[in-house]
A and B are shown apart, each in its own frame.
Chain A
Amino acid sequence: MSETRRETLIKIASAVSLANLAQPALSQTQAEHVHQATAQAKAAGGTYKPKLLTAHEFKTLQVLSELIVPGASKGNTAEFIDYLCHNNKDLAAIYTGGLSWLDATMQKRASANFVDSKPAQQTELLDLIAYRKNEESNPELGPGIHFFRWARRMSVDGYYTSAAGIKEVGFLGNGASSKFEVKQELYDQVLRKAGFA
């Protein structure tokens, strides 16, 4: 038996307040960053032709992955996910279903699709679905929470396997050198910290 809209809103409201206790909303700079990325994603819509997702789904995924990992678009994260969805029916169902859930939920909350809602509205929804524990207080979030885990895992993968992400995390290897050396001060720093020097 389905809940009334009012009941749903009450549940979501209580979950929001719980989530806010656990995690502050995005900072001003983060929010601006997301906003810019959204604009970029909209502008860049013509350059990559999604293989499985519709243009709207792809745009939504770009915005979502950018929220999860700021900079994700520099790593072509949405393209990576779309590529795998194209080759895997299970993944495709996870993403088309999940992105549709995001829009439907945002429509109920803000009378707009996810990409067209305000950054603050986007992060309010993410604050609900980015934490497993919220499912206990609001089982209706279940599909969103489940989807978000996929989106987070693959957005992290997409970004940190890109040239931009690998550079940012600071991996310096995969080269070729005639010698392997470690600077003495690196040993010293760690041994001192661990109480050996």
Chain B
Amino acid sequence: MAQVARSQPVYDVVIIGSGAGGGTVTKVLADLGVSVALIEAGPMLNPAKDFKEHKWPYDYPHRGAEEDGASYFGRGRGFGWFTAAQGDWTLEGEPYTTAPGSSFRWFRSRVVGGRTNHYGRISLRFADYDLKSYTRDGIGTDWPITYDELSPYYDKAEAFIGVTGSKEGIRSAPDGVFQRCPPPRVHEKLIQKAATKVGVPCIPGRLAVITQKTNGRPACHYCGECGRGCVTASNYSSSQVQIFPALKTGRVTLITNAMAREILVDDQGKAKAVSYIDKATRTERQIKCRTVVVAASACETARLLMNSKSSKYPNGIGNGSGQLGRNLVDSTGFSMGAHIPALEGLPRYDSDGMGGGHVYMPWWLWDKKLDFPRGYHIEVGGGYGMPGVGSFSGIANRVEGYGDSLKKTIYDSYGTNVGLSGRGEMVPNPDTYCEIDPNVVDKYGIPVLRFHYKWTEYELKQVDHMEQTFTEILEAMGGKIRKPETPIPAEKKISTGGEIIHEVGVARMGDDPKKSYLNKYCQSHEVKNLFVADGASFVSNPDKNPTLTICALAWRTSDYLAEELKKRNV
């Protein structure tokens, strides 16, 4: 039985989810004087307690292998013991399913800030052509907005959260409001030379890390461990950069451990309340709203909307188009590494820097005719990372033996490997989508998602191209690539769907209400007081990591929503 207090307030805006989208909406609306309630499925974040920044492995008797040695048996936490993520590839009691023949991995982090607490901080603008790819090549669908409409919001987002970079004038990688990027590490300088030699541009990294004091946040102190969370908030996380300051305005009511179950509608079909499970008591509660912004992470958003069924919306709230769950896309992923002899014998230095590449390679063949559409960018790895459990397992297992010779091999090989990772655009296809599994509910009784996933020739050929490019770059650095006797098919090389954690789509924007769920302001076509502010609105998934665009779109939606509230249109 729902517990509804009689005197319960009606919030102007209820925001569901506190990641990049929900955090941005909370901040922007609070600044505009709007009172909001923010509900988050996980607990409050306490950086001082939760983040393992600056910890050493020997600060724990298990050294990072976890209390029961789980990492030795392949049961360790995703991203390891030290990660800031409060979530994993699996959540106890909260399953999802995959259709026969499909594989999908879904990383969920339930905590204030969501996945922004641990993510890679790569912050890339979409290019003008990314938003109009159907016009360019006849494949996929155009966005209902242009780069010029989005660009001012990229400016706002970058200026506020802080992004490193340099003015390059490359069409595939539009310049933005940048802070200075620190110089390349030694192996990154070598990668730049090698990439240039084979015709691939390699430019300063674009990371949501501040290298100068910004809005009271101190500059980066170069410990290289952004993934563990940053107690000085010198990188972007929605929790520390947007939500904590917004809470101080007094206009934000934060409700944690609240698992949204359903959006309830009134007789006119407008959203009137959000029903959620209070995890502490496992009871259902309702919160009344004038408008609702769903930003639960793309697939979680689709799940909530599909589960919000009523006589008016039998297929899920606002889903007359049947578009919910469709057009699911992740980035393509492929990685390759090599031992680089030129890095042997290098005097040790502190290579920590920012938590991510100080260089990256934007897509460079955007105006060339290739045997696949769309492109990819290349991320780099290497340097003298903090030794951890498993750091030298590979080399020890390869050289075998023991004693001083084993130690010498470990010493000599440390820091001599370089890795390249491609992240490319997947074109939406009709075989890739999520839906409600009719047979399975989670521990709160909420029906779960079932995923269907399929890469097509477009993505497979792209991954073959990555392999060829990476081989050229690594060989130009003097790396030796061991080629398999029989080529490995692209199906085996490409990442599993969802694995890159860029899953977006599933409630896309568009001008045509029959072919899209949201209008160009990320407002539901059918339910005018319902908005979406996460990656679910994406029409396509360009070869740019999605977080910065989620922030920019959420900012734009917030401005629009505030105006509509003022005009009493919603």
Interface 1/0s, chain B 186-197, versus A by CB < 8 A?
Answer: 110110011001
Question: Which among A9-17, A135-143, A171-179 touches the partner chain?
Answer: A171-179
B33: Cβ under 8 A from any A Cβ: no
A98: Cβ under 8 A from any B Cβ: no
Could you tell me the distance in whole angstroms from the C-beta of B559 to the nearest C-beta in chain A? 36
Choose from B67, B184, B347, B477 the contact partner of A87 (Cβ within 8 Å). Answer: B67
Q: Do A178 and B219 form a contact, CB below 8 Å, given A26-B403, A70-B404, A84-B65? A: yes
- A132: chain B residues at CB < 8 Å are 400
B384: Cβ under 8 A from any A Cβ: yes
- B387: chain A residues at CB < 8 Å are 160-161, 165-166, 169, 171
Interface 1/0s, chain A 79-96, versus B by CB < 8 A?
Answer: 110011001101100000
CB-CB contacts below 8 Å: B126-162 with A: none
Could you tell me the distance in whole angstroms from the C-beta of A151 to the nearest C-beta in chain B? 9
Q: Do A172 and B384 form a contact, CB below 8 Å, given A91-B69, A156-B393, A190-B190? A: yes
CB-CB contacts below 8 Å: A147-197 with B: 149, 152-154, 156-158, 160-163, 165-166, 168-183, 186-187, 189-191, 193-196
**B393 to A160, Cβ gap below 8 A?**
no
CB-CB contacts below 8 Å: A33-85 with B: 67-71, 75, 79-80, 83-84
**B396 to A174, Cβ gap below 8 A?**
no
Interface residues of B, CB < 8 Å — how many?
Answer: 70
A150 — nearest CB in chain B belongs to which residue? B72
Q: Do A173 and B403 form a contact, CB below 8 Å, given A179-B222, A195-B478? A: no
- A174: chain B residues at CB < 8 Å are 54, 56, 223-225, 352, 386
A85 — nearest CB in chain B belongs to which residue? B69
Bound together, the chains give a CA A166 to CA B348 distance in angstroms of 12
- A149: chain B residues at CB < 8 Å are 397
**A158 to B63, Cβ gap below 8 A?**
yes
**A88 to B69, Cβ gap below 8 A?**
yes
B208: Cβ under 8 A from any A Cβ: no
**A130 to B63, Cβ gap below 8 A?**
no
- A176: chain B residues at CB < 8 Å are 54, 221-223
Interface 1/0s, chain A 18-37, versus B by CB < 8 A?
Answer: 00000100110010000000
**A67 to B386, Cβ gap below 8 A?**
no
Could you tell me the distance in whole angstroms from the C-beta of A16 to the nearest C-beta in chain B? 15
- A171: chain B residues at CB < 8 Å are 348, 384-387
- B57: chain A residues at CB < 8 Å are 161-162, 166
A131: Cβ under 8 A from any B Cβ: yes
Interface 1/0s, chain B 386-406, versus A by CB < 8 A?
Answer: 111111110011001111111
A131 — nearest CB in chain B belongs to which residue? B400
Bound together, the chains give a CA A193 to CA B67 distance in angstroms of 44
**B401 to A23, Cβ gap below 8 A?**
yes
Could you tell me the distance in whole angstroms from the C-beta of B175 to the nearest C-beta in chain A? 22
A99: Cβ under 8 A from any B Cβ: no
A106: Cβ under 8 A from any B Cβ: no
Question: Interface residue tally of chain A, by bracket?
Answer: 35 or more
Bound together, the chains give a CA A69 to CA B219 distance in angstroms of 40
A126: Cβ under 8 A from any B Cβ: yes
Could you tell me the distance in whole angstroms from the C-beta of A165 to the nearest C-beta in chain B? 7
Choose from B69, B346, B401 the contact partner of A131 (Cβ within 8 Å). Answer: B401
Question: Which among B248-256, B407-415, B455-463 touches the partner chain?
Answer: B407-415
Could you tell me the distance in whole angstroms from the C-beta of A22 to the nearest C-beta in chain B? 9
**A70 to B407, Cβ gap below 8 A?**
yes
**B403 to A161, Cβ gap below 8 A?**
no
- A173: chain B residues at CB < 8 Å are 223-224, 350-352, 384, 386
**B396 to A161, Cβ gap below 8 A?**
no
Bound together, the chains give a CA A100 to CA B502 distance in angstroms of 49
Q: Do A180 and B386 form a contact, CB below 8 Å, given A169-B410, A172-B348? A: no
CB-CB contacts below 8 Å: B225-254 with A: 225
A145 — nearest CB in chain B belongs to which residue? B400
- A68: chain B residues at CB < 8 Å are 402-403, 406
Bound together, the chains give a CA A13 to CA B186 distance in angstroms of 49
Among the interface residues A30, A69, A126, A178, which one has the most CB atoms of the partner chain B within 10 A? A69
Q: Do A186 and B186 form a contact, CB below 8 Å, given A30-B403, A161-B389, A171-B387? A: yes
Q: Do A152 and B396 form a contact, CB below 8 Å, given A162-B58, A163-B58? A: yes
**A84 to B348, Cβ gap below 8 A?**
no
B279: Cβ under 8 A from any A Cβ: no
**B61 to A83, Cβ gap below 8 A?**
yes
Bound together, the chains give a CA A154 to CA B491 distance in angstroms of 34
Interface 1/0s, chain B 260-294, versus A by CB < 8 A?
Answer: 00000000000000000000000000000000000
Could you tell me the distance in whole angstroms from the C-beta of B298 to the nearest C-beta in chain A? 34
Bound together, the chains give a CA A44 to CA B354 distance in angstroms of 42
Bound together, the chains give a CA A156 to CA B398 distance in angstroms of 13
B340 — nearest CB in chain A belongs to which residue? A194
A sample of 20 inter-chain contacts (CB < 8 A) reads A30-B404, A67-B402, A70-B407, A156-B393, A157-B391, A160-B410, A161-B388, A166-B56, A166-B387, A169-B414, A170-B348, A173-B384, A174-B224, A175-B223, A180-B183, A183-B349, A186-B346, A191-B189, A194-B193, A194-B342
Please give 18 more A-B residue pairs, beta carbons under 8 A apart, in addition to A190-B187, A194-B193: A69-B407, A91-B72, A132-B400, A153-B393, A157-B392, A158-B63, A160-B387, A160-B410, A162-B57, A172-B349, A175-B222, A177-B221, A178-B221, A182-B349, A186-B347, A190-B186, A191-B189, A194-B342
Q: What is the interface of chain B, defined by CB distance below 8 A to chain A? A: 54, 56-58, 61-65, 67-69, 72-73, 182-187, 189-190, 193-194, 197, 219, 221-225, 340-343, 346-354, 358, 384-393, 396-397, 400-407, 410-411, 414, 477-478
Closest 5 CB pairs of A and B: A161-B57, A173-B352, A194-B342, A176-B221, A170-B348
